[in-house]
Amino acid sequence: MTISMRARAVTAVSAAVGAALLLTVAVVPTATSTAAGRERCSRAVGPTFYAPGSGKTVALSFDDGPTKFTPQVLRILRAHDVRATFFVTGRHAAARPRLLRQVVAEGHLLAGHTFDHDYPDQVSGGWTRSYVAEQIRRTNRVLSAVTHQPICFFRPPGGHQTSGMYDAARAYGAEVVLWSVSSEDWAQPATTTAAATQHIIDRATAGGSQTHPSVLMHDGKGSHEPESEVSSNRSNTVAALPAIIRYYRSNGYRFVDHSGRSGLPPQRTTLRIATAEATIPAGTRTVLKGTVAATGPVVRQEVAWSTRRPGAHSWKRGGAVSTGADGGFRLAVKPRSDTAYRFVLPATARFRRAVGEVAVSTYRVATQLTVAGPTSIAAGDSVSLEVAVTSDAHPRAGESVVVRRRVDGVVVTSRVRTDAKGRATFTDQPTASTRYTLTVPRRLPYEAGTGRHDVAVEPVDTTEPTEPTEPGEPTEP
């Protein structure tokens, strides 16, 4: 195809806007309608040149996608709450199923634009009924796999019309949709320029004199068109789109797709949560990371979080975090036991409700407290007990060790603190045999540790020793 070929086709459509086409009246459904069976719609009318609906309505349509420019178009439409119609080619749709699903998920109308995008003079025998029917069938099979519904709208490439095309479209019950305003964005250069963008704006807004303009735009190009003849660049279309939307909205138009729907439904959102450590020592800090996304990052949205312990039936509200520019958020937590975390993005006019959950398992570290020292002393002497506190063989520095013993029927408590090596010394002067109980209190993630040490106090012999006598020496009576 050459540019002049496309230009002639667009001109022919524009000239036909005000006149009814006799060939559409003469078409009568035949056995092909029955063959269409499950794929048949009930909209066998056309050609339609204008936007549907009452009042002032405008329909934006995008042909020849999906391509890498389609997500950019979708983001702008979402930002302005504009529903549009995407006339996609079967070949591009089959090659980019993810983008096709994105168009549908956003709530736009999906329509057929043939499979190969060939013009009548590029097909041997032209656009016969059987040729167009096969093009529609192949395309609808790809599109219906995503929509799970019959495809009820069809736009012929270049606006070309033949009786065979209408016969095939009517057999599928499809409405043939043309346009009343062409943005001429198919002729844009390979780079973004202010002049090209403005030309698209000027052409697209020329529909302001109509009550129901239908604006033709493109988010791709026909598969067969050489890059040297028609550029695949659609950046100027993307750049022009916000101004086109503002123009029609400021002039009282309501945006609709070609089925008459207006306004976009809330976006399907995904909320994913991850933690670097799924199992941590109890009471230690870990960071939960989440992302919220729809067709792009969900930014500046409040996400509520709550917790639930094992065995609990309800969630306990914790608070809320806000998503950043990348749709991500972080929450630092210190679970004292196994805990499930739940994050909820509430439903809004723009986003559907989304939920994400993650569980954090905890464990506790055993504490070993050992005591060394004498087990007996003489009354009046002092006793020194050497204390060592470890967990998993690692010294516990700065731990407060509680020492309890009974003195004259009263429990007396003292404390010593371990040094950098986890050691401490306790000194006492017991007056009687004493059991020392030493305890390190529980401090998550460490369990409590206990040690005991008994010290016997031996009484001192207070009797004076007697001097030995010589043999034969009389002893005192």
Active site positions, annotated: 63, 218
CA–CA distance, 139 with 120 (Å, rounded to integer): 17
In three-state secondary structure terms, 225 is coil
Beta carbons of 153 and 174 less than 8 angstroms apart: yes
CA angle 136, 138, 141 (to 5 degrees): 100
Residue type, 164: G
CA angle 29, 22, 167 (to 5 degrees): 25
The answer for residues whose C-beta is within 8 angstroms of residue 400's C-beta and 6 or more apart is: 415, 416, 417, 440, 441
In three-state secondary structure terms, 353 is coil
CA–CA distance, 458 with 462 (Å, rounded to integer): 12
Count of positions (residues) in the chain: 477
Q: Produce one character per residue of 53-64: b if its CB has 16 or more CB atoms within 10 Å, e if not.
A: beebbbbbbbbb
Beta carbons of 140 and 172 less than 8 angstroms apart: yes
CA–CA distance, 340 with 270 (Å, rounded to integer): 19
Report the candidate in 107, 106, 132, 104 with the shortest Cα–Cα distance to residue 117: 132
Report the candidate in 25, 23, 296, 31 with the shortest Cα–Cα distance to residue 164: 23
By CB neighbour count within 10 A (0-12 exposed, 13-18 middle, 19+ buried), where does 472 fall?
Answer: exposed
Q: In Å, what is the CA distance from 383 to each residue of 83, 223, 429?
A: 87, 95, 6
CA–CA distance, 460 with 1 (Å, rounded to integer): 120
Beta carbons of 426 and 416 less than 8 angstroms apart: yes
Rg (CA), the chain: 42
Beta carbons of 219 and 67 less than 8 angstroms apart: yes
The answer for residues whose C-beta is within 8 angstroms of residue 292's C-beta and 6 or more apart is: 269, 270, 271, 298, 301, 303, 323, 327, 328, 329, 345, 354
Query: Residues 406, 410, 416, 422: is their CA dihedral positive or negative?
Result: positive
